[in-house]
Amino acid sequence: MASLKSKKLKSIPAEITVPGDKSISHRSAMFAGLAKGTTIIEGFLPSEDCLCTVHAMQALGATVEPLEEVEGVGLVKLAITGNGLKLKAPTKPVDCGNSGTTIRLLAGILAGQDFKTELFGDASLSRRPMKRVSDPLGLMGAKITGQGEKICAPLTIEGGPLKPIYYKLPVASAQVKSAILLAGLFAPGKTTVVEPVATRNHTERLFTHFGIKWLREDDCVSVYGGQEPRATDIVVPGDISSAAFWMVAAAASPGAQITLKNVGLNPTRTGVINVLLRMGALVTNSETHSDGEPRGNITVRGGDLNATVIGGAEIPNVIDELPILAVAGALARGKTLIRDASELRVKETDRIAAVAQNLRAMGVTVTEHPDGMEIEGGAKLQGATLPCWGDHRIAMAFLVAGMFAEGTTTIEGSECISTSYPGFEHHLDLFLLGDTGAPPIPVMSGIPQPLAEKLSQKHA
């Protein structure tokens, strides 16, 4: 089991370019695999999670070709050639790894196919509830079975003719919304999803980018069946959820300044900026591109942070950033309250329990609630050896916390970071060793070798 260590930060680098957006990379690969023709995806995130999606689309009949130059491990070009909405039956179960996005969105796509598919994942994914997806897809006509009352993976999906539905989401979830809308492409007529709270809209934006017409009316999102995605190239912006770790590190360092380059600025994902502004950080952003997804640079200047309340309608907008925002709360003056975030209980791990336990181990007073926690800021953090329960965001959040602690903080099981942030260790070194202390990430000609090997595997 790998481990990473953190200690008091030495410097704040002037600029960092984070890897491509995880959510958009997943969806881009799926849409490209559903379109007739070739789509070039630039800036694709070559993380384990996103590679699971690429492999799945290969197994379902798409052709994947690695392209051109890769700088470090974050900027990747892939060409994916699809054969349209009618996919090929895989010859074996499809491995979704640790990726909830892969298994839930694929369930929507496979619901409309005329064959049976098994989707499975690792131990963490196999504990996550899939009933929230199987219920609406079952109403549309698919037959989905899984393990236990929560319908956990492995899932067996028997697709077939679907009918459109009007479905009110019981819990705000972009993944469930996306699964239903993708299934709606295979159902004649209008499929509508009603959101209790607006969630990230990457699927809808990609509908537009790939030529699919959809409609937003108040809290309802609708799509008409029978439309086929049109192959079209796409640029994936940097992931704001990855940038958030360095944003908090800079925000909690008075006098520091960092610029995150080419980051996605989709308004349904920028809640972390609003939270840090409320806490007293100086954050500015400048949109430089708006094709498909808005993107640009984010600059953060550090100062003394103050406590805040994070809850209500903004929770879906910051759900992935809550672990690192909890660390910001520990570094702020006053009591920070996170509420209305029970969804954290069913992520890669129970993130409420995990964050509370690790903060306490570092000397922070935390009161845990069913839907969140109250964090008393201002305590002097102490380095500790901490578990991350196989959760990449917990691992990265507490490596950042270690930058503000006395002594050394060791995160056990840190290999899970590769599910979302290849190159994280190098960027961590920029903070811990300074700009001249860390070895540069090499610029490679062609695709990174591990990725090339994975993409060259046969997925018959």
Which residues does the annotation mark as catalytic? Answer: 320
Please, is 89 exposed, middle or buried when counting C-beta atoms within 10 Å of its C-beta (0-12, 13-18, 19+)?
Answer: middle
125: left (phi over 0), alpha (psi -120 to 50) or beta: alpha
Token pair 């570092």 is at which residue?
Answer: 362
**Token pair for 42:** 């630039």
Q: Return the number of other C-beta atoms located less than 10 Å from residue 28's C-beta.
A: 33
Q: Return the number of other C-beta atoms located less than 10 Å from residue 218's C-beta.
A: 7
Euclidean distance between CA atoms 145 and 157, whole angstroms: 7
CA angle 29–33–36, rounded 5-degree value:
135
Euclidean distance between CA atoms 307 and 205, whole angstroms: 34
Name the DSSP letter for residue 414. G
Which residue in 8, 2, 106, 97 sits closest to 381, CA to CA?
8
Which residue in 186, 132, 130 sits closest to 156, CA to CA?
130
With residue 264 as reference, give the H or E element that holds it. strand 257-264
Instruction: Tell me the H-state helices in 78-231.
Output: 100-110, 131-140, 174-184, 202-209
CA angle 399–405–406, rounded 5-degree value:
130
Which residue in 413, 424, 409 sits closest to 390, CA to CA?
413
For residue 394, give the amino acid letter. I
Contacts of 206 (CB under 8 A, 6+ apart): 24, 27, 28, 31, 234, 292
Angle between helix 351-361 and helix 392-402 axes, rounded to 10 deg: 20
Q: What torsion do the CA atoms of 406, 13, 275, 201 make, to the nearest 10 degrees? A: -130
Cα separations (Å) of 106 from 99, 113, 183, 326?
A: 11, 11, 9, 32
